[in-house]
């Protein structure tokens, strides 16, 4: 009868072996997916988009994760607000299109009208005693930071944004994110649990076997040392690569470019990271097929190229890779236990013109190629994990950040399950 009895989540968490991939239910069960949403993902500041998507008053877009839909809208005063896309009357979605412009948020069902601050403005024919002020839209925590829009879906207080992300300020400022615009946006659905998608993204152990094109852009010693960020590679390789990195950092500092670093471990809120490094040692100016610039207009305060790459990790589902001339937001958004969207958003200087300053194919080639390969990889990983013979396996020294992620995830989940 054991086959039908599911162990309790805390027992599964306790059974987990450090340094090994997760037990099967974490990657496969809808029950754990609900816990992931409630205890982990809803409590984080998620990087969802760039303000240039909603430049004008009334512009909105929808952010969707799991069963949730969030309206992110710019008010007449220029503020960015966010609300759950659920009418307080009978629950209908209010905005149906992925993006648009609205003077008010009027529900298409019964025309309850909300102001862009979420307050209920009109509800016809309500019974005596109806208190409109108690039927405002459910707000979603929102923070715009250097042009980046972050949401936190928590029903309670969100984490302290500035305390968590202040260390990114100088770098974000120098890269000019506030003055960027979206050049291209592409979604890559993965038939895999979000944690398999994340694990894949934070290790470069698979780069050599799976990403030929990416490995032609970046040198092997660098990919080994910090191909997936600081601490992602074996210690020895990191030490060997360090002099090269230091020399480059020194040269870029001479140009006045920032080289701030952040490197948080599993005992932090976000496992945040910030690092700068050269793309390679072959003179590449940008992360493109041939190393030429992807955009003739440099971003932010870059006046001369340093051939550098800036990796910003806000949490395990929110990333930016930034170069002198463009940047790419990476957003991993679960749909259900077995499906996760990977959305890539390429940013360039707001004054750059497509066709003149940048070419979309040239801009997107490296990561469009790489993320498609990752899709194949993670989907085959998921299929294998569904087998009765799947057993958690040991992480290599080149997967150090995955080990960190697993510990970070289990800690968050355990605390959530314990209600702490």
Span 56-85, contacts to its own copies by CB under 8 A: 67-69, 84-85
Of the residues 117, 121, 136, 138, which one makes contact with its own copies according to CB under 8 A: 138
Structural contact between residues 368 and 186, judged by C-beta atoms closer than 8 angstroms:
yes
Of the residues 15, 76, 104, 130, which one makes contact with its own copies according to CB under 8 A: 130
Cα–Cα separations (whole angstroms), residue 338 to 199, 262, 374, 387, 390:
15, 32, 15, 14, 16
Number of chain residues interacting with its own copies (CB under 8 A) = 75
Residue 186 tokens read as 């592409």
Chain centroid to CA 387: 29
Structural contact between residues 258 and 266, judged by C-beta atoms closer than 8 angstroms:
no
Of the residues 126, 144, 182, 407, which one makes contact with its own copies according to CB under 8 A: 126
Residue nearer to its own copies on the CB measure, 29 or 251 = 29
Binding to its own copies (CB under 8 A) within 7-36 occurs at: 8-10, 19, 21, 31, 34-35
Of the residues 385, 401, 404, 408, which one makes contact with its own copies according to CB under 8 A: 385
Of the residues 15, 98, 111, 255, which one makes contact with its own copies according to CB under 8 A: 111
CB of 164 to its own copies, least distance (A): 23
Of the residues 54, 86, 226, 275, which one makes contact with its own copies according to CB under 8 A: 86
Q: Which residue has the tokens 């057993």?
A: 391
Asked if 412 interacts with its own copies (CB under 8 A), we say no
Residue nearer to its own copies on the CB measure, 300 or 334 = 334
Of the residues 79, 101, 109, 160, which one makes contact with its own copies according to CB under 8 A: 109
Closest CA to 57 of 40, 38, 79, 36: 79
Binding to its own copies (CB under 8 A) within 227-246 occurs at: 234
CB of 370 to its own copies, least distance (A): 14
Binding to its own copies (CB under 8 A) within 255-294 occurs at: none
Asked if 381 interacts with its own copies (CB under 8 A), we say yes
Asked if 343 interacts with its own copies (CB under 8 A), we say no
Binding to its own copies (CB under 8 A) within 37-56 occurs at: 37-39, 42
CB of 44 to its own copies, least distance (A): 15
Residue nearer to its own copies on the CB measure, 125 or 163 = 125
- Rounded to whole angstroms, the Cα distance separating 198 from 399 reads 12
Of the residues 53, 146, 175, 398, which one makes contact with its own copies according to CB under 8 A: 398
Asked if 338 interacts with its own copies (CB under 8 A), we say no
Asked if 133 interacts with its own copies (CB under 8 A), we say no
CB of 321 to its own copies, least distance (A): 22
Where does this chain touch its own copies (CB under 8 A) — which range of 51-59, 118-126, 241-249, 349-357?
Answer: 118-126
Structural contact between residues 31 and 9, judged by C-beta atoms closer than 8 angstroms:
yes
Of the residues 63, 150, 158, 199, which one makes contact with its own copies according to CB under 8 A: 199
Residue nearer to its own copies on the CB measure, 318 or 406 = 406
């Amino acid at each position: 009868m054991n086959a039908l009895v599911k162990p309790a989540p805390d027992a599964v968490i306790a059974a987990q072996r450090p340094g090994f991939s997760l037990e099967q239910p974490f990657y496969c069960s809808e029950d754990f997916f609900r816990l992931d949403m409630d205890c982990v993902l809803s409590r984080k500041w998620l990087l969802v988009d760039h303000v240039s998507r909603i430049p004008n008053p009334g512009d909105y877009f929808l952010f969707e994760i799991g069963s949730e839909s969030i309206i992110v809208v710019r008010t007449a005063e220029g503020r960015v607000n966010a609300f759950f896309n659920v009418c307080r009357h009978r629950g209908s979605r209010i905005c149906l299109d992925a993006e648009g412009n609205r003077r008010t948020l009027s529900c298409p069902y019964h025309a309850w009208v909300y102001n862009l601050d979420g307050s209920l403005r009109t509800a016809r024919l309500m019974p005596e005693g109806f208190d409109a002020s108690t039927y405002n839209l459910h707000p979603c925590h929102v923070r715009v930071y250097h042009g980046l829009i972050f949401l936190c879906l928590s029903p309670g207080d969100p984490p302290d944004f500035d305390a968590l992300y202040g260390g990114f300020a100088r770098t974000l400022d120098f890269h000019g994110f506030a003055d960027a615009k979206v050049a291209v946006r592409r979604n890559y659905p993965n038939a895999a649990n979000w944690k398999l998608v994340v694990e894949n993204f934070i290790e470069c152990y698979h780069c050599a076997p799976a990403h030929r094109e990416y490995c032609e852009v970046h040198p092997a010693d660098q990919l080994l040392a910090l191909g997936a960020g600081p601490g992602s590679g074996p210690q020895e390789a990191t030490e060997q690569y360090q002099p090269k990195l230091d020399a480059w950092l020194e040269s870029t500092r001479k140009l006045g470019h920032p080289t701030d670093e952040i490197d948080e471990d599993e005992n932090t809120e976000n496992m945040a990271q910030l690092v700068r490094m050269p793309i390679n040692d072959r003179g590449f100016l940008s992360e493109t097929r041939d190393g030429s610039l992807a955009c003739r207009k440099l971003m932010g305060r870059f006046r001369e190229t340093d051939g550098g790459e800036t990796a910003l990790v806000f949490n395990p589902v929110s990333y930016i890779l930034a170069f002198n001339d463009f940047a790419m937001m990476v957003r991993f958004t679960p749909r259900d236990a077995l499906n996760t969207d990977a959305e890539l958003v390429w940013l360039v200087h707001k004054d750059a013109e497509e066709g003149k300053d940048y070419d979309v194919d040239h801009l997107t080639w490296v990561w469009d190629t790489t993320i498609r390969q990752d899709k194949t990889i993670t989907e085959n990983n998921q299929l294998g994990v569904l087998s009765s013979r799947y057993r958690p396996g040991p992480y290599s020294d080149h997967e150090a950040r995955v080990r960190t992620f697993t510990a970070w995830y289990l800690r968050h989940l355990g605390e959530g399950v314990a209600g702490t």
